[in-house]
Amino acid sequence: MVPAELLIGSRWQASAGSGRTRDVTSPFDGNTVGTVGVACPEDVEVALAAAERGAAVWRRTPAHERMTILLRAAELADQRAVEIARTISSESGKTITEATGEASRSGDLIRLAAFEGAQLYGETLPLDANRGTGQDKIGFTLRQPCGVVVAITPFNYPALLVLHKLAPALAAGNAVVLKPATSTPLTALALAECFVDAGLPEGVLSVLVGSGGVLGDALVTDPRVRKISFTGSTATGGHIAGVAGVKKLSLELGASCPVVVLPDADIELAASAVALGGYVNAGQVCISVQRVITHPDVTADFLDALVPRVKAIRTGDPSSPETTMGSLITTAEAERVERAIAQARADGARVLTGGERDGTVVTPAVVADVDPDSPFSQQELFGPAVAVSSAADWESAIAQANGTAYGLGAGIFTSDVAGAVRAIREIDAGSVHINWTPLWRADLMPYGGLKGSGYGKEGPRAAVSEMTEVKTVVLHGRPW
């Protein structure tokens, strides 16, 4: 159990200002699952000052030593995976099965980042190609850490989304100030404790728990911060981009991910994949299936295959192995999703199953005959419901797939290789999956969106690149 204190500069300590703590409660039953310290603006200043000092030490630490510390942290994450899984489930409402899967990936994700952080290759520059002045010079590039990184993470994957920012930043030699979601801070603190216990030097890591309204602008506008990595809403991401100033930004924002089902698709495969990809973590996933676009020839068969699979999803106590879908993060979020489904019905769509709310649990819903231009398709739902619309031909299907402000992930089901290639080229999304839904991610792959879904890439190799800067070096010899 992590202390009910703040982690500032890799050391547990009381708040410099507020001295307050707060209880973290289960979204499913309201029970208290832990207590955390609450940061205030004074703590931001202490953490950033510590990070500035820590970054100066950490960047000079040889890559093999940084890698050794991260590998120790990975081992600790493995050893503590069962407890971390319980923490994930209890504070997020995620099923214990899903939480166990998330926790079990933590150690390997840290290892991937540790390796990539030790592979900061540069390149040689062909200066002799510069007419008349380059023959006596040698040029090359070096990568160096940005310095101080601010990482801001959401509630829905409280281990993986923390580690996709924290581990690459540390591996590349940066100091990090992490602000996790206020609803799921315990997982972030437990993972940070792995790094501290592994021997992370003083100053290198801080975790500030508190309101984004209180802490956010103080963190992202500070000139000592060179890099910001944010995952969350498009509105908040836009605000950060507007106030951050001259800094490197990675923004992973909203989505309304489409799946296209063509007439030559394997309908049973498509239905099985959507029944999984639309409802994992109660649909609270950026790459969750929100829209399915079917050809009229197969719409009825697809719905006949999908609805019974969705009805078979078992809601209930997230701590029970029998539960296959847990709760939403708050009652307010559950009420929002319930209203969105009801509005879709009022707008003429058919709710074939689900959509009822009990506290923070909304039964998984399939909503057919959805207008592609309606809010239910256009706006991010972030809940356990899938909208099904039809498109009569290839061009209109692709137009629907591309027809929102977002472009994070997409899927297409087809047995036609030529059609798959065309989809890969024409769908505007950061990842395109053939014969699966966008709800699939290997931790090593580049991950990020197009259009309103943000910019910058995660995945250890991509993130290490984002967390470093390139320096050009020229050695001047005597003229020949």
Report pLDDT digits (tens) over 434-469. 999 999 999 999 999 999 999 999 999 999 999 999
Phi first, then psi, for residue 177 (nearest 5°) are -110, 115
132 found inside a domain: yes
| 170: enclosing H helix or E strand | helix 160-171
Domain span holding position 11: 6-253+452-472
pLDDT tens readout for residues 317-372:
999 999 999 999 999 999 999 999 999 999 999 999 999 999 999 999 999 999 99
447 found inside a domain: no
Are residue 330 and residue 347 in the same domain, yes or no? yes
Supply the CATH number for residue 401's domain.
Answer: 3.40.309.10
Average pLDDT, the chain: 96
480 found inside a domain: no
Rounded to an integer, what distance in angstroms lies between the CA atom of residue 471 and that of residue 367?
53
Are residue 265 and residue 234 in the same domain, yes or no? no
Is 194 an annotated catalytic residue? Answer: no
Are residue 357 and residue 239 in the same domain, yes or no? no
Give the residue with greater pLDDT, 2 vs 61.
61
How many domains are there within the chain?
2
SS3 at position 86? helix
Q: Which of 252, 338, 380, 458 is catalytic?
A: 252
Instruction: Give the pLDDT confidence score for residue 401 in this predicted structure.
Output: 98
Chain-centre distance for alpha carbon 155? 9
Rounded to an integer, what distance in angstroms lies between the CA atom of residue 384 and that of residue 272?
15
Q: Does 132 score more than 90 pLDDT?
A: no
Q: Whole-angstrom distance between the N-terminal and C-terminal Cα of the chain?
A: 67
| 188-208: average pLDDT | 98
SS3 at position 413? strand
Locate all alpha helices (DSSP H) within 278-393, ordered by sequence: 296-311, 331-346, 375-378
Are residue 140 and residue 277 in the same domain, yes or no? no
Are residue 226 and residue 315 in the same domain, yes or no? no
**How large a percentage of the chain has pLDDT more than 90?**
96
Q: Does 19 score more than 80 pLDDT?
A: no
SS3 at position 102? helix
Are residue 290 and residue 323 in the same domain, yes or no? yes
SS3 at position 138? strand
Are residue 215 and residue 342 in the same domain, yes or no? no
Supply the CATH number for residue 39's domain.
Answer: 3.40.605.10
Is 257 an annotated catalytic residue? Answer: no
Q: Which of 91, 286, 333, 380 is catalytic?
A: 286
Are residue 223 and residue 349 in the same domain, yes or no? no
DSSP code string of 35-71: EEE---HHHHHHHHHHHHHHHHHHTTS-HHHHHHHHH
DSSP code string of 387-411: EEEE-SSHHHHHHHHT-SSEESEEE
pLDDT tier at 2 (50, 70, 90 boundaries)? low
Are residue 141 and residue 195 in the same domain, yes or no? yes
Residue 334 has, within 13 A of its CA and on its CB side, a CA count of 21
127 found inside a domain: yes
Are residue 265 and residue 230 in the same domain, yes or no? no
Are residue 217 and residue 323 in the same domain, yes or no? no
287 burial (CB, 10 Å; 0-12 / 13-18 / 19+) is: buried
Are residue 468 and residue 436 in the same domain, yes or no? no
146 found inside a domain: yes
236 within 8 A of 39, measured Cβ to Cβ: no
Instruction: For residue 226, give every residue at least 6 positions away whose Cβ sits within 8 Å of its Cβ, in sequence order, or none.
Output: 146, 147, 148, 149, 247, 248, 469
pLDDT tier at 479 (50, 70, 90 boundaries)? confident
